[in-house]
Amino acid sequence: MSTENKSPKTVVNSWNEWDPLKHVIVGRADGTMVQAPEPSTERDWPEHGFPLGTYGPLPREMEAKANEQLDNFANLLEARGIRVDRPAPLDFSQTVQTPDWEQKSMFGCMPPRDLLLTVGNEIIEATMSQRSRWFEYLCYRPLLEQYFKEDPFFRWEAAPKPRLTDETYKADYWRQWEKKSPEEKEKAIYAHDWILTEKEPCFDAADIGRAGKDLFVYHSSVTNRAGIDWLRRHFSNHRIHSIWFYEAHGFHIDATFVLLRPGLALSNRKRKPLTPHMLDFFKKNDWEVVECAKPALDDYPPLSFCSPWLSMNTLVLDPKTICVDAQEIEQMEQFDKLGFEVVPVEFADVSPFGGGLHCATADVYREGTCEDYFPHQIEGF
Ligand code: DAV
């Protein structure tokens, strides 16, 4: 009689963005919504059927195409010996509420990277800073429960759920923004004058770039100073570097500044780093920071809140192998010249569902340990 246990045993472990990947979560497009308006987010796409104030599921045919590309990507990873798990979508069209607020829709579960932060044997459910994404963690709970049973060393954590009352957001922010002159907008970029107040810690997991002992956190429109402070206290054995870039309402580090392998990072050619000493820090530690290639698109695709810079949104399978959106010819050529084996992945139809190849994945296991890639620190960075 066979007593073989078919379920693969989970080990949670991932310290950086490049060590050999063995187990990953790939999101699903099912039921993704153009979110109902909320203090932090407004969609205004009249030419595609969603003028300001309206909301609803993304068109079915778009969803089918995105799911096909996500499934093909999952199959490609599995064919390379990588275990792939998928989240459990909810009915994202439902109204959700807490004692403080009611929100007319949820969002989706295409981008697990936004929500799950893996550092070593720990996965943290990020706070998120949009009401429509407050309950998104539920899509990942079946997997996290399973990992918790299978890996006795897995540390399952959740950052404090934010209240997301009106005090978490600056009052009348978007109307005020529209009234600003170009000079005032410029000033706001330098002042990090984004929608979030400092009322409570907020962060998205996709604002964090991991390099062993050093974690780089984007002070973005979805991650506030308090969120970075929470991460600093939580990861007290790490060095947390708060960074920001020349971009209004930027969010998520993975289309702006991407850690590719020890000694090499890719920087957005338009969104220049604004943090004092940041580039000196990389240089001092013998890291090369290269500007990304020209992206394939000139503008946001229809119904997408993600920019053409998803060209940078790549998944590194090991320090020599990188998955890149197949439409990004120039970016693939650049990676080729930088010595990577490039794996082209058809992914353009996924963007309206919340991102590219990095967004669509969350690490569970990469080989390797926590290393110090930045032995030379700079005071004040
Ligand atoms: O810059 O377009 C992409 C979102 C990545 N999670 C951008 C953000």
DSSP 315-366: EEEETTEEEEETT-HHHHHHHHHTTPEEEEE--GGGGGGT-STTTTEEEEEE
Residue 334 lies in a domain: yes
pLDDT of residue 211: 98
The gap from C-alpha 293 to its chain's centroid, in whole angstroms, comes to: 20
Report the C-alpha dihedral over residues 142, 147, 149, 155, rounded to 10 degrees. -120
pLDDT of residue 7: 55
Residue 10 lies in a domain: no
Q: What tens digit of pLDDT does each residue of 176-202 get?
A: 999 999 999 999 999 999 999 999 999
Residue 300 lies in a domain: yes
Residue 43 lies in a domain: yes
With a Cβ cut-off of 6 Å, ligand 1 is lined by: 111, 206, 251-252, 254-255, 306-307, 309-310, 313, 355, 359
Task: Please count the structural domains in the chain.
Answer: 1
* 359 is an active site residue: yes
Mean pLDDT of 239-255: 97
The CA distance from 222 to 4, in Å, is: 46
Helix locations, 208-299, DSSP H: 225-234, 278-284
Residue 137 lies in a domain: yes
Structure tokens at 83: 């275990």
* Residue 252 pLDDT > 70: yes
Residues with Cβ < 8 Å from 358, sequence gap 6 or more? 113, 206, 254, 258, 313, 314, 315
CATH code, domain with 276: 3.75.10.10
pLDDT of residue 1: 43
By most ligand atoms within 8 Å of CB, the mutation choice from 258, 307, 351 for ligand 1 is 307
Q: Whose CA is nearest to atom 3 of ligand 1?
A: 306
Question: What is the amino acid identity at position 130?
Answer: Q
Among 114, 252, 358, 363, the one annotated catalytic: 252
* Residue 2 pLDDT > 50: no
The CA distance from 246 to 185, in Å, is: 11
By most ligand atoms within 8 Å of CB, the mutation choice from 306, 309, 328 for ligand 1 is 306
Mean pLDDT of 65-70: 98
Mean pLDDT of 262-291: 97
Residue 272 lies in a domain: yes
Mean pLDDT of 346-372: 98
Going from the Cα of 327 to the center of ligand 1, the distance in angstroms, rounded, reads 17
Going from the Cα of 367 to the center of ligand 1, the distance in angstroms, rounded, reads 27
pLDDT of residue 3: 45
Residue 149 lies in a domain: yes
pLDDT of residue 380: 87
Mean pLDDT of 272-297: 97
Q: Note the pTM of the prediction, 2 decimals.
A: 0.96
Residue 7 lies in a domain: no
Give whole-number Cα distances, 64 to 29, 85, 310, 359, in Å.
8, 19, 20, 19
* 192 is an active site residue: no
Q: What tens digit of pLDDT does each residue of 254-273 get?
A: 999 999 999 999 999 999 99
Q: Average pLDDT over the chain, rounded to whole? A: 96
Residue-number span of the structural domain to which 149 is assigned? 21-366
The CA distance from 88 to 106, in Å, is: 14
Mean pLDDT of 330-347: 98
